[in-house]
Structure 1
Amino acid sequence: MDLRRLRSFREVAAAGSLSRAADRMRLAQPALSRQVALLEAELGARLFDRHGRGMQLTEAGQALLDRIEGPLRQLEAAAEEVRALSGAIAGQVALGMMPTVAAVLAAELAQAVAEAHPGIALRIVEGYTGHLVEWLQRGATDATLLYGPAADLHLRARPVFTEELVLAGRPGSLPGATVTLAEAARHPLILPSRPHGLRAVVETAAAAARIALPVRFEADSFAVLKDLTGRGLGFAILPRSAIAAEAAAGRLGIARLHRPRIRRQVVLALPPGRAPGRATEAVLAVLEAVIRRHAEAGDWMAA
């Protein structure tokens, strides 16, 4: 199967139209259209529905995209690795992480990678645990941060840090500087929905303490969780590090939880059966240095 056709197909799928994809690839639109048509003829399946607003993947097109995204990235990374053997480390690296971790790490990590390895193009992919695992398994990301423990994952994973969860609310509304989970459960709560790893951590702790959680609102967006909490619509249970800036600015109040204290472990996972390339190893080394700085500052407990 011709790699040029697969790359053309991937770019059209990402752009949603031939004209936009042609502009991105610096190709004539008829030439790009021919590549897609040849691929459809080779596979014997229509990959796009064409309409006035652009091109939308068919069921067959989506199935093909899901299956080639990882292998294509691996082939492109392999070529970049070979070209870089005699020079500076370069290439593209996709790193997955949860929104609450990205809020703390993403910008700092990107800046550190840019300074240490200007030839590396870093893509930070935000998502929740189920999506992050899926993207890693199919090769869409090169490594990812996930909720632990590592033993629960069928991946090459190791702990990197543990952090404390706190009760967050509108300033002045918290029942005390330190509250039990039972006391927190007397108030309406704002939590992510059940597929979210953070919700699982909180519910596991509550179940062990035989405490029912009165969930008033659910929101899978970290920004929405903070906004609802800041408006006084309820209390959220969130990582302390993720809302430290809001607490310092007086936009949110924080109370420590005890009986039980709730902590979450974050692990670094690598794809099964594939060794990381030089660029990925370089990014992971920078990531570990950034995590150490946060641990030394007291934000997290390093593994």
Structure 2
Amino acid sequence: MDFRQLKTFSSVAELGSLSKAADRLRIAQPALSRQIKLLEHELRAELFTRNGRGMVLTEAGKLLLARTAGIVRQLDQIRDDIQSQAGSPSGRVVLGLVPTVSYVLSARLARRTVERYPGISLCIVESYSGHLTEWLHRGEMDLAVVYGPSADLHLSMQALGRDSVVAVGPRGSGLSRKKRVEIDWLLRQKLVLPSHSHGLRALIEHAAAKRKMRLDVQIEADSFRVLTSIVEAGLGFTLLPPSSLREQVADGRLEIATIAKQGPMRELLVAAPIDHPGSAATAAITALVRSETKACRDEGLWDIRLG
């Protein structure tokens, strides 16, 4: 195996298409296909199945990707850092954002990156903390903004701040009239929450356990947009940061209420893989995340207590 073959394999695996990988790598598709076949011949295993949906990893392909994704990213970063020494940071940065943070930050980060760092190619991936930390561990992502606690994640961490959450319900739920509710009342309602692998669920489960209460979770949703649409449909309540709900609340689609006696707070972290140093481009994006978070707080767009 050589780096060129692994780079080709990684790109095809990520994009699921030879033609898309050829466009990204600026290599003719027949040459790309030949590299994959040579790699498969050397490993004596098929790495992809080819069907109408494109290139799908086999079990052998999944194993190879898990073992080599981090290596490929590190070699790319070495090249980018050497090239960055002569000028401003350059290279590709894959940044993960939890959905509630993505709502506030993603467009601002994209704009600032274009303005300040034209040599950086920024890829923003939105998902819950559980998925983002898994991708960081596998070396498929350079950086992510996730929810703690930090002791459980085994990653390189920088504290970003603490994010408050509010009770969220559908139109007509009475939350906007109440303005403030007790956490015990909220935990007795029908709830719509992410599954157990995600930070928001752990936070609420912990609050219920302290009160020896059992949650009534009839529907789970591992998508922020699905979760809020289910609440809009009147099928339950949830807890989310108010900064991520401005449009739905302004339109009257959702109602919110603060939680009495200081409700649950979430530790917000900037996380990176612990086993290799980040590139100059990654450091630049980390600094942008911190500066834009502060700007959002100062502009009243995000009620976050900075770390």
Q: Same fold (TM over 0.5)?
A: yes
2:127/2:223 contact within 8 Å kept: no
1:205/1:260 contact within 8 Å kept: no
Q: Secondary structure at the match of 2:111?
A: helix
Separation of aligned partners in 2, 1:125 and 1:53: 22
Shift of 1:284: 0.9
2:133/2:153 contact within 8 Å kept: no
Q: Which residue of 2 aligns with 1:241?
A: 243
Correspondence list, 1:139-154, <5 A: 139-154=139-154
1:160/1:267 contact within 8 Å kept: yes
Inter-CA distance 24–99: structure 2 relative to 1 (3 Å threshold): same
Separation of aligned partners in 2, 1:266 and 1:45: 42
2:270/2:286 contact within 8 Å kept: no
Shift of 1:13: 2.6
- TM-score (structure 2 length as normaliser): 0.91
Q: Deviations over 1:84-122 (max 9, x none)?
A: 211222111111121122122111111122212121111
Number of positions where the alignment pairs a residue of Structure 1 with one of Structure 2 = 303
Consecutive unaligned residues of structure 2, counting only runs of 5 or more, are none
| One-letter code aligned to 2:68 | I
Matched, 1:155 2:159: no
Shift of 1:158: 2.7
Q: Which residue of 2 aligns with 1:192?
A: 194
Q: Which moved more, 1:21-30 or 1:118-127?
A: 21-30
Shift of 1:17: 4.1
| One-letter code aligned to 1:137 | H
Correspondence list, 1:18-167, <5 A: 18-51=18-51, 54-167=54-167
Q: Deviations over 1:174-223 (max 9, x none)?
A: 25211112222343221112112111111111211223222232111110
Separation of aligned partners in 2, 1:186 and 1:13: 45
Correspondence list, 1:255-294, <5 A: 255-259=257-261, 261-294=263-296
Q: Which residue of 1 aligns with 2:306?
A: 302
Shift of 1:173: 1.3
Same amino acid, percent of matched pairs? 45
Separation of aligned partners in 1, 2:304 and 2:66: 36
Separation of aligned partners in 2, 1:177 and 1:69: 48
Q: Deviations over 1:127-161 (max 9, x none)?
A: 22232222112221112222122233322213211
CA RMSD of aligned residues (A): 2.0
Inter-CA distance 53–167: structure 2 relative to 1 (3 Å threshold): closer
Q: Which moved more, 1:12-21 or 1:206-215?
A: 12-21
Q: Secondary structure at the match of 2:271?
A: strand
Inter-CA distance 260–217: structure 2 relative to 1 (3 Å threshold): farther
Inter-CA distance 80–225: structure 2 relative to 1 (3 Å threshold): same
1:209/1:260 contact within 8 Å kept: no
Shift of 1:288: 0.6
Q: Which residue of 2 aligns with 1:222?
A: 224
Inter-CA distance 28–273: structure 2 relative to 1 (3 Å threshold): closer
| One-letter code aligned to 2:196 | R
Shift of 1:59: 0.9
| One-letter code aligned to 2:245 | I
Shift of 1:83: 1.5
- TM-score (structure 1 length as normaliser): 0.92
Separation of aligned partners in 2, 1:295 and 1:230: 27
Q: Which residue of 1 aligns with 2:10?
A: 10
Consecutive unaligned residues of structure 1, counting only runs of 5 or more, are none
Q: Which residue of 1 aligns with 2:209?
A: 207
